């Protein structure tokens, strides 16, 4: 599927949210020029395999945007582009003559997706994935998060905004800008927690035996028999009536997690062995 074939994108976003979003737009057929600072995208140094994975078919150009000649080269790219993706503070873009008013006056058909940390009035407040997760209660110190959920939430949100501004331009003929605050994107991804569904004591927090984690003879088992028909089928197959947590736990402890996962597949039940992350 190449729905963005013919769309030209320039991105000056680095680290993760921007590159992760642009990687999908590239995958959908957009022609992408990735402008990096002279030292390159920090992700290329911090995690080169991930950087290469996201790069795809993008053309990488290194420009020092503080130098007039190289800043002029960026304008030449923008003149032929449909969308600019940024992940810098608004004030930083203004200093580079990349504020929206300047951009729109010079390139009236150019759209922009601006990934920022927070919504106004905190748009100049800096942060990173760790601080965004800290702000919504996703951390359990001293353990560090297993993934960069805020950054990836912002990336997925930015993809939606990119498609939205391009559709809007197709109606009006005028470029539009859309902000993607990372903190707001994470808020959306944590709605089940905020509304109590997965919070301690919530319906999907481990309070119910049909949606829970169980120790087994070897490893742990995730039981997701949330729908009544699945739960009823599981109890019937295991020959239990009440199906309390302790009752189910005693049964699952008789076999390994791998055994129960294979058994569940045969019986078309949403049950899986818990895989512990190992790199590679």
pLDDT for 154 beyond 90: yes
CATH 2.60.120.260 fits 8-192, yes or no: no
Q: Which CATH number fits domain 211-273: 3.40.50.300, 3.30.1540.10, 3.40.50.620, 1.10.760.10?
A: 3.30.1540.10
Tokens of 275: 């895989």
pLDDT for 155 beyond 80: yes
Closest CA to 255 of 196, 204, 227, 215: 215
pLDDT for 1 beyond 90: no
Mean of pLDDT over the chain = 96
pLDDT for 265 beyond 90: yes
**What is the average per-residue pLDDT within 67-94?**
97
180 phi, psi to nearest 5 deg: -125, 90
- List of residues 6+ apart from 45 with CB closer than 8 A: none
**Stated pTM of the model:** 0.91
The DSSP secondary structure of 72-139, one letter per residue, reads HHHHHHHTT-SEEEE-S-HHHHHHTT-SHHHHHHH-TT-EEEEEESS-TTSTT----HHHHHHHHT--
pLDDT for 45 beyond 80: yes
Angle at 43 between CA 42 and CA 47, to 5 degrees: 130
**What is the average per-residue pLDDT within 93-111?**
97
- Residues 244-249: contacts with CB within 8 Å, 24+ apart? 244/209, 245/209, 245/212, 247/209, 248/209, 248/212, 248/214, 248/223, 249/214, 249/215
The answer to whether 83 touches 9, Cβ cutoff 8 Å, is yes
Q: How far apart are CA 101 and CA 90, in angstroms?
A: 12
Tokens of 158: 């930015």
Assign 280 a pLDDT band (cuts: 50, 70, 90): low
Domain ranges of the chain: 8-192, 211-273
pLDDT for 216 beyond 90: yes
Sign of CA dihedral 135, 138, 143, 145: negative
> How many percent of the chain have pLDDT more than 90?
97
Assign 252 a pLDDT band (cuts: 50, 70, 90): very high
Given this model, what pLDDT does residue 123 score?
87
DSSP 268: T
- Residues 127-130: contacts with CB within 8 Å, 24+ apart? 127/182, 127/183, 129/16, 129/182
């Amino acid at each position: 599927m190449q729905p963005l074939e013919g769309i030209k994108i320039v991105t000056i976003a680095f680290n993760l949210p921007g590159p992760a979003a642009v990687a999908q737009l590239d995958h959908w057929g957009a022609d992408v020029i990735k402008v990096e600072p002279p030292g390159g995208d920090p992700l290329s140094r911090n995690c080169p395999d991930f950087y290469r994975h996201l790069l795809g078919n993008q053309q990488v150009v290194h420009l020092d945007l503080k130098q007039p000649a190289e800043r002029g080269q960026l304008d030449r790219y923008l003149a032929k582009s449909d969308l600019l993706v940024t992940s810098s503070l608004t004030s930083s873009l203004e200093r580079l003559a990349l504020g929206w008013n300047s951009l729109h006056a010079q390139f009236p058909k150019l759209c922009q997706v601006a990934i920022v940390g927070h919504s106004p009035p905190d748009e100049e407040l800096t942060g990173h994935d760790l601080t965004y997760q800290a702000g919504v209660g996703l951390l359990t110190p001293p353990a560090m998060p297993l993934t960069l959920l805020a950054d990836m939430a912002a990336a997925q949100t930015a993809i939606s905004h990119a498609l939205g501004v391009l559709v809007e331009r197709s109606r009006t003929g005028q470029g539009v800008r859309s902000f993607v605050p990372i903190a707001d994107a994470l808020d959306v991804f944590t709605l089940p927690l905020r509304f109590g569904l997965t919070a301690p004591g919530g319906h999907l927090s481990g309070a119910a035996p049909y949606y829970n984690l169980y120790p087994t003879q070897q490893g742990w088992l995730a039981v997701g028999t949330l729908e009544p028909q699945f739960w009823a089928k599981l109890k019937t197959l295991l020959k239990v009536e009440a199906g309390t947590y302790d009752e189910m736990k005693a049964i699952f402890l008789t076999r390994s997690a791998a055994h129960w996962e294979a058994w569940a597949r045969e019986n078309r039940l949403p049950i899986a062995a818990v895989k512990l992350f190992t790199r590679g």
